[in-house]
């Protein structure tokens, strides 16, 4: 097994809070260099150098490039990394639209390089619990479900995610997480209807979305709001034989912000969280929440590079999620239901 040398592009919240610590927690990876337009007020990890983005991309000693820059640069930097012979991980959203994403997937195939997208919310403890419960078959056919990413953030912050810039707004920020979770459990929807809104006074970009996805006769909702205290179930699945409910927000993001790392006491827990099964006869059964495992993402990437296995999140999967995101944006813009093509690719 050889060392996987990593270059990280971008050291804002995504790079600093998520990627750098998780990369450095994977024993087969070494974070060698961080690329940024500027390093003022940025304290880099000990032993990791900073350099202009182009220098990191062209560094012959780097095997894997992780793109954690603002959304409008994801596809372009991923292409540049692939053309420089690097494996690539892109933060979500994969690109600004499915056409951009398809170009990156095609380029990765041409150069026979790994391409993945950082869908860390597949390893939220609540989602792992929901997926395991559904896979056991105890719910029966699911007629309706909801996946929520609600928070209470009434103040508009001066950051690019809330500016009038391509890829900003809650649909592109949280939409990929929820749509990927739904895709991972149910596959591609047949059609969808989406609504987005700017609910906070002075909001420049959308801070609310509600997407109804159709899977045959079943309906699954992806919902996010900036003005809702977290009181509703994060995941609710209504099956013919039983229903599943999960409450509480996965604690890994907050733990990373506070300097904790995988393996630390309490890692992967959902503070105050719980889940239960409500059977058709009205009886309730508590289900222990699984521990979250964000570290599993980069462990899978290391396996894919070292052992030539398939990564957990493939470029093709991420492309399909982008097609659903495009359809949601189209539906919200036109006010119409949008049918999706389910052909491969």
Taking the domains of the chain in order of start, what are their residue ranges? Answer: 4-118, 121-293+325-339
Give 2's DSSP letter: -
pTM here is: 0.94
CA dihedral sign of residues 114, 6, 65, 14: positive
Q: Which of 312, 334, 335, 327 is nearest to 189 (CA)?
A: 327
Host H or E run for residue 315: helix 315-334
d(CA 344, CA 334): 26
Burial code (b: 16+ CB inside 10 Å, e: under 16) for 80-113 equals bbbebebbbbbbbbbbbbbebbbbbbebbeebeb
For every one of its 345 residues, what pLDDT tens digit does the chain have, with 9 covering 90 and above?
589 999 999 999 999 999 999 999 999 999 999 999 888 778 899 999 999 999 999 999 999 999 999 999 999 999 999 999 999 999 999 999 999 999 999 999 999 999 999 999 999 999 999 999 999 999 999 999 999 999 888 887 777 677 777 777 899 999 999 999 999 999 999 999 999 999 888 888 888 999 999 999 999 999 999 988 867 899 999 999 999 999 999 999 999 999 999 999 999 999 999 999 999 899 999 999 999 999 999 999 999 999 999 999 999 999 999 999 999 999 999 999 999 975 444
Q: Residue 313, Cβ neighbours under 10 Å: how many? A: 25
Is it true that 4-118 and 121-293+325-339 share their CATH fold?
no
Burial of 259 per CB tally in 10 Å (0-12, 13-18, 19+): exposed
What CATH fold (topology level) applies to the domain 4-118?
Rossmann fold (3.40.50)
C-beta of residue 186 within 8 angstroms of C-beta of residue 220 = yes
C-beta of residue 67 within 8 angstroms of C-beta of residue 91 = yes
- 9 Cβ neighbours under 8 A, 6+ residues apart: 15, 34, 35, 36, 53, 56, 57, 65, 66, 67, 68, 69, 77
d(CA 10, CA 335): 36
Question: Which architecture does CATH list for 121-293+325-339?
Answer: 2-Layer Sandwich (3.30)
Which tokens go with 22?
């998780």
Cα–Cα distances in angstroms (integers) from residue 126 to residues 148, 231, 260, 292, in the given order: 11, 15, 20, 8
């Amino acid at each position: 097994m050889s060392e996987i040398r990593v270059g990280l592009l971008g050291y804002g919240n995504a790079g600093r809070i998520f990627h750098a610590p998780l990369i450095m927690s994977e024993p087969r990876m070494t974070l060698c260099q961080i690329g940024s337009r500027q390093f003022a007020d940025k304290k880099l990890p000990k032993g990791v150098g900073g350099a202009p983005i182009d220098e990191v991309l062209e560094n012959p000693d780097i095997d894997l490039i992780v793109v954690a820059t603002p959304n409008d640069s994801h596809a372009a930097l991923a292409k540049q990394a692939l053309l420089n012979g690097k494996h690539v991980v892109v933060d979500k959203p994969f690109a600004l639209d499915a056409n951009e994403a398809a170009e990156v997937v095609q380029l990765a195939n041409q150069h026979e390089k790994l391409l993945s997208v950082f869908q860390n919310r597949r390893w939220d403890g609540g989602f792992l619990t929901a997926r395991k419960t559904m896979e056991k078959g105890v719910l029966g056919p699911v007629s309706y479900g909801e996946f929520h990413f609600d928070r209470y953030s009434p103040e508009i912050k001066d950051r690019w995610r809330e500016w009038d810039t391509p890829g900003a707004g809650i649909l592109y920020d949280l939409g990929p997480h929820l749509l990927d979770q739904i895709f991972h459990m149910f596959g591609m929807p047949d059609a969808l209807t989406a609504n987005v809104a700017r609910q906070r006074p002075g909001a420049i970009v959308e801070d609310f979305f509600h997407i109804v996805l159709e899977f045959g006769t079943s309906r699954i909702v992806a919902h996010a709001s900036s003005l809702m205290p977290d009181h509703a179930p994060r995941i609710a699945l209504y099956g013919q034989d039983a229903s599943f409910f999960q409450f509480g927000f996965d604690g890994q993001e907050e733990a990373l912000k506070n300097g904790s790392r995988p393996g630390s006491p309490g890692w992967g827990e959902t503070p105050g969280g719980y889940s239960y099964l409500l059977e058709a006869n009205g009886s309730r059964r508590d289900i222990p929440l699984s521990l979250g495992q964000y570290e599993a993402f980069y462990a899978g990437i290391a396996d894919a590079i070292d052992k030539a296995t398939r990564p957990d999140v493939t470029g093709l999967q991420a492309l399909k999620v982008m097609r659903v995101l495009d359809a949601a944006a189209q539906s919200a813009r036109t006010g119409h239901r949008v049918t999706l093509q389910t052909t491969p690719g």
